[in-house]
Structure 1
Amino acid sequence: MFDTMRPADVAGVRRLARDGLLAGSAAAARPRALARLRGGVYTVAWPLVFTRITKPLEHRRRHADCARGLEWLRPDCLDRFHDDVEAVVEHALRRATGPIENLEGWLATRLNPATVDAHRRRRGEIGALQRPRLPSWLGGALGGDPWLCDLAVQILIWAGVPATAGAEVWPLDGWAARRAEVTGEPVANRDTLDREVGRVLAAMRTRPKWHAEHVERPLGHKQAPVAPMPAELPPLELVGAHELEDARLAGLAEQALHAIESRLDRGESPAAAVTAVVRTVFGGLDHSPLGGSPRDDWLATALADPARLEGIVATVLTVLDR
């Protein structure tokens, strides 16, 4: 699409936009002519989408490689980018009914409504709630518990997301950090989260038709999880224990950054936000080469030392670009 579009087609799209005829021409065009119009708008729109939507999003997702350019986008990120560009193209071909002197400038003002509407439409097509909210009856069934109510909304959001959680149904690791932030408790283990998800789903199933339409149906559109290896086969260890521990800590660090950023957005001071989140996420970790107690002692000492805490806060703010 990016390399094969003829300059004449792009020029034709710009001319139709200036004359206020772009939407009308698209509505009346035969398939081949419509394809040329779509290609011309696509050529103008994709750099705007990447610069203003994709790149900032990939930075927020800590995908530094994806933010470099199209050729570095991971497969799922590339799919999302193409979906967003298609949404902008469709929007332009329906809404460009008046004279538009600056097509790029006009498209830039339409990026957000076009992509948001398309996202909600895709959710609606598979039965997922377009704007997930907690129904009052479900909040009552969960006893008004803040975390379980929040988890219910996360389940409704996740049901309509095309991505999968690897070989699992739910992204429990990501929800663990959110649980710690909402409850103020240490990061829960997977068994605890699994039980809580089960409790929320049980409450949802008290209204079978609603659950089937807004949870089961959209989940059915996700790619089926990969079957696990047979239990009798020993696991193939490709990396050492220290590398697994490093990967685990890196994942926790990413969760901690998201939690700190949320607290900063609510107006909490950097020192308070960093201290609370670091203590919650990293305090009391088990099964590490350092052992639980030495790491806890080091962490408590570092957070109690104003100079060391100042250095930690400065590093976090630099990573978050705050």
Structure 2
Amino acid sequence: MPRSGPTAAEDVRRLARLGTLAASVAEAGDAERKRLVGGAYCVAYPVVWSGLTQGLERRRGHNGCAVSVRHLVDDCFDRFQDDVEAVVHDVVHRSVRPIDNLEAWIGGLLTSATVDGHRRRRGAIGALQRPRPPKWLVDGLGGDRWLVHLSVQMLVWVGNPATAGSQVWPTEAWTDQRCRFTGRWDAADGSDVRRDIDAVLRVMRSRPEWYARYVEGPLGHKHVPVPRFAPADPDGPQLHALDLVGEGERDEVHLQDLAHEAVIAIRARLRAGEDAETVVTEVISLVFGDGAGTLIDRLPHQDDPGGEHVVRLLRDRAERARIVAAVLAIVRAG
């Protein structure tokens, strides 16, 4: 994050109030332009964080990332920086009229600025700015609604700087999409999605120039995820990054992440028509209990105090009914 003294930020606010910020940046020399843009960053990034990024991270289930900017993992921090850059671009180009409250004005352009910035970044790497499947692709896929939808998701993904870990495509997310789209929940292991991706790629590759330009080229701009630190001796003790988060905070975030995964699993099984009490009991047992049983009456004694407490509660009929009701309320509220 660029560091700029309060004078630069105050100058940006002052020029905005005068309605001359855009003109001042355009007419400034290199040094002054950098100073004013740095001041705009100082004004914009807290607004982007509180007005956009924090909520997005929570909706993604990234509870740790939603704690603060310094807790953002690499991919999420890159997205945040991209959004700040897009907002600053609009601030220094569109502020041509007097703006009394610059922060409030920035809050009003978060969506348009970040969408436009996203399109500019996609265009810079050759990805389609507004992905649409061409007619030949739709025809090649037999007009299959799910495959056509998947082809659009693939065209969107190639221009997204995010990565899917060691995979090229985010098959886990698309598996859930496929289940919801088709109404079939019998292939949640991702195998069907992988076959569907291959089918779409075969049709896309039938137009080699189009494929190279809009799929292969943009994919080549993605960064391969690598470990933060490589051990000097691979056979020796592994080194760990400095832990800047307290143990209690880390445990709380971990529990929130587990709860998020549990809600997703419960929601998926309920959509498939399974019994609500059975679903909640099995998922809560798996995630927070012993992690082995599927029927409550077969749950073994736990060595872990936390898991043992959960199992004990689930064995009690009244407690189990209370837990099921509370969990279902949370799932349905989302």
TM-score range, shorter chain: 0.7 to 0.9
Specify whether residues 5 and 316 from structure 1 end up closer, same or farther in structure 2 by C-alpha distance, changes over 3 A only: farther
Q: Is 1:122 the equivalent of 2:117?
A: no
Pairs within 5 Å for 1:32-181: 32-181=31-180
Question: Equivalent residue of 1:68, what SS?
Answer: coil
Tell me the amino acid that sits aligned with residue 315 of structure 1. V
Q: CA RMSD in A?
A: 3.5
Specify whether residues 310 and 178 from structure 1 end up closer, same or farther in structure 2 by C-alpha distance, changes over 3 A only: farther
Q: Specify every segment of 5 or more residues in structure 2 that has no aligned partner in the other structure, as ranges.
A: 227-257, 284-290, 300-318
Question: Equivalent residue of 2:66, what SS?
Answer: helix
| CA distance, structure 2, for counterparts of residue 26 and residue 54 of structure 1 | 27
Counterpart residue number, 1:21: 20
Pairs within 5 Å for 1:209-224: 209-224=209-224
Q: Is 1:318 the equivalent of 2:317?
A: no
| CA distance, structure 2, for counterparts of residue 253 and residue 116 of structure 1 | 32
1:253 Cα offset (Å): 3.7
1:313 Cα offset (Å): 6.4
1:154 Cα offset (Å): 1.5
1:33 Cα offset (Å): 0.5
Q: Is 1:276 the equivalent of 2:275?
A: no
| CA distance, structure 1, for counterparts of residue 75 and residue 155 of structure 2 | 20
| CA distance, structure 1, for counterparts of residue 156 and residue 66 of structure 2 | 25
1:251 Cα offset (Å): 8.7
1:118 Cα offset (Å): 0.4
| CA distance, structure 2, for counterparts of residue 46 and residue 320 of structure 1 | 34
Q: Specify every segment of 5 or more residues in structure 1 that has no aligned partner in the other structure, as ranges.
A: 227-248, 261-272, 299-306
| CA distance, structure 2, for counterparts of residue 39 and residue 48 of structure 1 | 15
Counterpart residue number, 1:11: 10
Asked if the contact 2:127–2:215 (Cα under 8 Å) also holds between the matched residues in 1, the reply is: yes
1:310 Cα offset (Å): 9.0
Moved more, 41-50 or 202-211: 202-211
Counterpart residue number, 2:196: 196
Tell me the amino acid that sits aligned with residue 88 of structure 1. V
1:123 Cα offset (Å): 0.9
1:274 Cα offset (Å): 6.7
Asked if the contact 1:147–1:183 (Cα under 8 Å) also holds between the matched residues in 2, the reply is: yes
| CA distance, structure 1, for counterparts of residue 260 and residue 61 of structure 2 | 11
Tell me the amino acid that sits aligned with residue 136 of structure 2. W
1:126 Cα offset (Å): 1.1
Specify whether residues 86 and 202 from structure 1 end up closer, same or farther in structure 2 by C-alpha distance, changes over 3 A only: same
Tell me the amino acid that sits aligned with residue 201 of structure 1. L
Question: Equivalent residue of 1:65, what SS?
Answer: coil
Question: Equivalent residue of 1:206, what SS?
Answer: coil
1:201 Cα offset (Å): 0.6
1:279 Cα offset (Å): 3.9
1:321 Cα offset (Å): 5.7
Moved more, 76-85 or 48-57: 76-85
Question: Equivalent residue of 2:163, what SS?
Answer: coil
Specify whether residues 37 and 124 from structure 1 end up closer, same or farther in structure 2 by C-alpha distance, changes over 3 A only: same
| CA distance, structure 2, for counterparts of residue 313 and residue 127 of structure 1 | 50
Asked if the contact 2:263–2:331 (Cα under 8 Å) also holds between the matched residues in 1, the reply is: no
Moved more, 117-126 or 135-144: 135-144
Question: Equivalent residue of 1:221, what SS?
Answer: coil
| CA distance, structure 1, for counterparts of residue 265 and residue 131 of structure 2 | 25
- Among all aligned residue pairs of Structure 1 and Structure 2, give the percentage whose two residues are the same amino acid: 46
| CA distance, structure 2, for counterparts of residue 274 and residue 88 of structure 1 | 40
Asked if the contact 1:177–1:187 (Cα under 8 Å) also holds between the matched residues in 2, the reply is: no
1:318 Cα offset (Å): 2.6
Tell me the amino acid that sits aligned with residue 46 of structure 2. P
Pairs within 5 Å for 1:253-272: 253=262, 255-256=264-265, 260=267
1:188 Cα offset (Å): 3.8
Q: Deviations over 1:277-306 (max 9, x none)?
A: 5749x98x9xx9447xx69xx9xxxxxxxx
1:15 Cα offset (Å): 1.4
| CA distance, structure 2, for counterparts of residue 321 and residue 139 of structure 1 | 37
Asked if the contact 2:165–2:225 (Cα under 8 Å) also holds between the matched residues in 1, the reply is: yes
1:32 Cα offset (Å): 1.1
| CA distance, structure 1, for counterparts of residue 178 and residue 72 of structure 2 | 30
Aligned length: 275
1:6 Cα offset (Å): 1.8
Asked if the contact 2:61–2:260 (Cα under 8 Å) also holds between the matched residues in 1, the reply is: no
Asked if the contact 1:18–1:100 (Cα under 8 Å) also holds between the matched residues in 2, the reply is: yes
Asked if the contact 2:65–2:73 (Cα under 8 Å) also holds between the matched residues in 1, the reply is: yes
| CA distance, structure 2, for counterparts of residue 148 and residue 190 of structure 1 | 15
1:192 Cα offset (Å): 2.9
